[in-house]
Each structure stands twice: as structure tokens, then as C-alpha cells.
């Protein structure tokens, strides 16, 4: 089954009144893409945040890790909410999370409260992403969202640095507010779905959240994180056997297409987000560039890689699944090799451009492949689980970059 045809009818009982082609794609892109800018805005301001809060750079990186981890854990939760309560409920709840989380980040003086604010912000952003991707419907439209996220993600580091210089780092961490602009327009295209039958699988959701957290914390706390992840994985496997249609559908895990899609997404996402944080330091160390020059160079490279994703996603149906996967994996590997061995700033920037293409290209194409691997009613759940795995790479990246380069 081709990626495009498999996703062409992506709507479910929870969203049956909301055709994926009914909501204009630009509104969906505006809803989802500020999340990437919000996540990447902290790439060049870890030093400013650590100085302001009186902590180390590694400590400040927790503001990034918490955002990415909350984003990953919350996206399947909102996918479940979409399935059970419809888009309108999920949309306005996401907006409330974004507003409250941003307020906490803006006014809190203690690191724990700021971390809570970042987590709440990210949960709202996860809802926006889940809604946008569920309403996208095809690889071509998904490519617009994924490429837009890449472009906004590319602008994020420079925008964060400029906002920090002009206002403060708190302003840089408030970029996610821009997603609220799209909420009223998308709400007009949605309906409130009737409640679905059956209880919410709270135990499955909790076990998956614990497993995800343990895996993300492996680079910083290997032994405790491994123990937590192992126990959670065993308990989750047993739970899935008892409840195969629960929070983690057995049909998805049984599908080779789904498993291979999420594995590709995790590898390429982790590689991209590691390079996102490592390349600025590598360029500064190996080529002596200033922070502002690095920000501009990285932005240009990432925009170029993201724009290419648009054409790639549109052509993916003609290329076929094998060629699509070969392309994104080969380019992702080339990006990693270049980052390890290159001494030239230009080659290092090319590495991040290739990395963003491989990750966003995989996100656009493999998410639709994952959605096509399960029955229609489970497609929002499948997309949510796929995005959890993809965003786990976003949580692992800063930790890996800190361990390997930033120290």
C-alpha cells in the first residue's frame, strides 16, 4: 500500500464530520509549526538561561528536555482525546494549556515552576500538533506541515537569540503563543463529537509515559532510567495482552509497517536534534564563528533542507516506500558522518541541512505509512504514537548533544 493512498481517508468516528480536506492547510500549518520554533528557540540561549537562573548549562538544558519530553508524552494523550471527544474539545484545551504554561514561564522566578510551565506549554503544543496532523490526511498536506515545522524550527534559534538580546530569554520561551492565532479559524471548521463508548485506558497511558520518560533519561541517568524503562516495558506488554484495543493498540505493534516506520522516525529524529544543538558548538570550536554568524548560517541550511521536504513529500507516492526510506536513511547517515569529521563551517551547516531534511521527510512520509498500518478508527492513535516516538528524538537530542559536545 502506498504512503499516499494509505492516508487518503484519514478520518475516524471521532472526526467523521471534519474532512481532512475541509480545513485549509495553511491554518493547520500555523497551528502546528510554532511548536518547532518554541522548541528550538533555546538552542543558542542556554548560556543566558543558566546565567540568569544561576545554574549550569547542563541544568539549563533541562528546560529543553522537559519541553520535548512533555511534547512527546502528551501527543498520544491528545490523539486519544481527539478520538473520544472530537477536535473542538481538544483544540480549546490545548489553547488553555499553551496560555497557562506560557504565563508560568513568563512570571515564575524559580526553576521548578519554570519547568512546570515549560511542561504545560509543551502539552498544549502536543495537542496542536495532534490536531493538525490528524486533519492533514495525505502525505502531500503532511509535507506542508512538516516542512513548515522545519522552516520555523530553523528560524527558532536565531529568533530566540534576538528576542533574548532585545527583551529576555523568557520572551524567547513564549514563542508558542503564536499558535493561538489559528485556533478560532480551525474551531469554525470543527464540530463537537459525541462521547465514544468504553473507558479510557489510563493504565496503558501511564505505563507508556513512564516507559518514554525512562528511555529519554537514559543518556543522563543510565542505570535508574534503564531499570524504570525495563519494568514499564514488561508491565505495558502484559497490559496490551489484556487490553489489545487500549491506549497502545496491539494491531499497531503487530504491524511490520508501523514498527519500521517508528524506528526510522526515532533514529532520524534523534540524529537531527542532536546535531541541532551540537553543530553551533562544533562550528564555533572548529571554525571560530561567532554565535550570531552561526545562527544565520544554521538557519539558512535548515530552511533549505525543509523546503526540499515539500517536493519530496509530494513525490513520495510515486517513489514508493522502499526508495523513500532508502533516501531519508542515506541522507541522515551522511549528515551524521559529516558532523563527526568535518572541520569546515560550510560542511557542518550542510550536515544540519541534510539532517533536517531526513527527519522532516521521514516525519511527513512515515507518519502516513504508520497511519495506513491500522484500522481507520485507530488512525489518530497510530499518528499519536508515531509522533511520540519522533518527538522522543527531540528529547534525546539535547541530552546526547550535552553528553557528546556541550558538556
pLDDT, average across residues 93-98: 96
Residue 13, pLDDT score: 37
Q: How far apart are CA 113 and CA 115, in angstroms?
A: 5
Residue 18, pLDDT score: 45
Q: How far from 362 is each of 146, 295, 313, 356, 403, CA to CA, in Å?
A: 9, 25, 9, 10, 26
Residue 375, pLDDT score: 80
Residue 197, pLDDT score: 52
Residue 394: pLDDT over 50: yes
* Ramachandran class of 320: left when φ > 0, alpha when ψ lies in -120 to 50, beta otherwise: left
More confident residue, 405 or 361: 361
Residue 377: pLDDT over 80: no
Residue 406: pLDDT over 70: no
Q: How far apart are CA 213 and CA 402, in angstroms?
A: 18
Q: How far apart are CA 81 and CA 216, in angstroms?
A: 24
Q: How far apart are CA 298 and CA 286, in angstroms?
A: 15
Residue 119, pLDDT score: 93
What are the E-state strand segments in 3-114?
A: none
231 pLDDT band (50/70/90 cuts)?
Answer: very high
For 317-357, write each residue's pLDDT tens digit. Answer: 888 889 999 999 999 999 999 998 988 999 999 999 999 99
193 pLDDT band (50/70/90 cuts)?
Answer: low
Whose cell is 562550528? That residue is 283
Q: How far apart are CA 181 and CA 404, in angstroms?
A: 38
For 148-177, write each residue's pLDDT tens digit. Answer: 887 888 788 888 888 998 899 999 999 999
Please tell me the pTM assigned to this model.
0.77
* Ramachandran class of 27: left when φ > 0, alpha when ψ lies in -120 to 50, beta otherwise: alpha
3-state SS of 278-338 is HHHHHHHHHHCCCHHHHHHHHHHHHHHHHHHHHHHHHHHHHHCHHHHHHHHHHHHHHHHHH
Q: How far apart are CA 75 and CA 385, in angstroms?
A: 8
Helices (H), 19-56: 25-32, 34-40, 46-53
Q: How far apart are CA 387 and CA 383, in angstroms?
A: 6
Residue 5, pLDDT score: 31
Q: Are 352 and 302 in contact (CB under 8 A)?
A: yes
407 pLDDT band (50/70/90 cuts)?
Answer: low
What are the E-state strand segments in 303-352?
A: none
Q: Are 356 and 150 in contact (CB under 8 A)?
A: yes
- Measured over the CA atoms of residue 388, residue 394, residue 399 and residue 400, the dihedral's sign is positive
Residue 195, pLDDT score: 54
Residue 307, pLDDT score: 86
201 pLDDT band (50/70/90 cuts)?
Answer: confident
Residue 1: pLDDT over 50: no
Helix (H, G, I), strand (E, B) or coil at 342: coil
202 pLDDT band (50/70/90 cuts)?
Answer: confident
Residue 246: pLDDT over 80: yes
Amino acid at each position: 500500500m502506498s504512503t499516499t493512498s494509505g492516508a487518503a481517508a484519514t478520518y475516524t468516528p471521532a472526526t467523521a464530520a471534519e474532512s481532512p480536506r475541509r480545513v485549509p492547510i495553511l491554518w493547520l500549518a500555523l497551528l502546528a509549526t510554532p511548536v518547532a520554533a518554541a522548541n528550538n528557540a533555546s538552542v543558542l540561549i542556554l548560556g543566558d538561561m543558566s546565567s540568569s537562573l544561576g545554574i549550569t548549562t547542563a541544568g539549563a538544558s533541562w528546560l529543553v528536555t522537559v519541553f520535548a519530553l512533555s511534547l512527546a508524552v502528551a501527543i498520544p494523550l491528545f490523539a486519544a482525546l481527539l478520538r473520544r471527544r472530537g477536535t473542538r474539545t481538544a483544540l480549546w484545551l490545548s489553547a488553555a494549556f499553551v496560555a497557562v504554561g506560557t504565563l508560568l514561564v513568563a512570571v515564575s522566578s524559580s526553576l521548578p515552576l519554570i519547568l512546570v510551565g515549560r511542561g504545560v506549554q509543551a502539552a498544549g503544543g502536543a495537542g496542536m500538533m495532534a490536531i493538525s496532523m490528524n486533519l492533514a490526511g495525505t502525505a502531500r498536506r503532511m509535507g506542508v506541515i512538516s516542512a513548515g515545522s522545519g522552516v520555523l524550527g530553523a528560524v527558532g534559534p536565531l529568533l530566540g537569540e534576538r528576542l533574548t538580546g532585545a527583551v529576555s530569554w523568557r520572551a524567547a520561551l513564549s514563542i508558542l503563543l503564536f499558535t493561538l492565532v489559528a485556533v478560532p479559524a480551525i474551531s469554525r471548521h470543527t464540530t463537537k463529537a459525541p462521547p465514544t463508548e468504553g473507558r479510557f485506558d489510563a493504565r496503558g497511558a501511564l505505563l507508556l509515559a513512564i516507559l518514554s520518560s525512562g528511555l529519554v533519561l537514559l543518556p543522563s541517568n543510565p542505570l535508574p532510567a534503564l531499570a524504570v524503562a525495563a519494568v514499564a516495558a514488561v508491565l505495558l506488554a502484559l497490559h496490551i495482552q489484556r487490553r489489545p484495543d487500549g491506549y497502545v493498540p496491539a494491531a499497531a505493534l503487530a504491524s511490520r509497517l508501523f514498527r519500521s516506520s517508528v524506528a526510522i522516525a526515532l533514529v532520524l529524529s534523534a540524529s537531527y536534534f542532536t546535531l541541532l544543538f551540537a553543530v553551533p558548538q562544533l562550528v564555533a570550536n572548529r571554525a571560530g564563528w561567532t554565535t550570531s554568524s552561526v545562527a544565520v548560517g544554521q538557519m539558512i541550511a535548515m530552511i533549505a533542507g525543509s523546503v526540499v521536504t515539500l517536493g519530496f513529500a509530494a513525490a513520495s507516492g510515486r517513489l514508493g516506500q522502499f526508495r523513500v526510506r532508502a533516501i531519508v536513511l542515506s541522507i541522515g547517515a551522511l549528515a551524521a558522518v559529516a558532523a563527526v569529521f568535518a572541520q569546515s563551517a560550510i560542511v557542518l551547516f550542510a550536515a544540519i541541512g541534510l539532517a533536517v531534511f531526513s527527519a522532516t521527510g521521514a516525519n511527513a512520509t512515515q507518519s502516513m505509512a504508520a497511519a495506513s498500518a491500522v484500522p481507520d478508527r485507530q488512525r489518530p492513535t497510530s499518528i499519536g504514537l508515531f509522533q511520540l516516538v519522533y518527538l522522543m528524538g527531540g528529547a534525546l537530542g539535547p541530552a546526547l548533544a550535552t553528553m557528546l559536545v556541550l558538556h
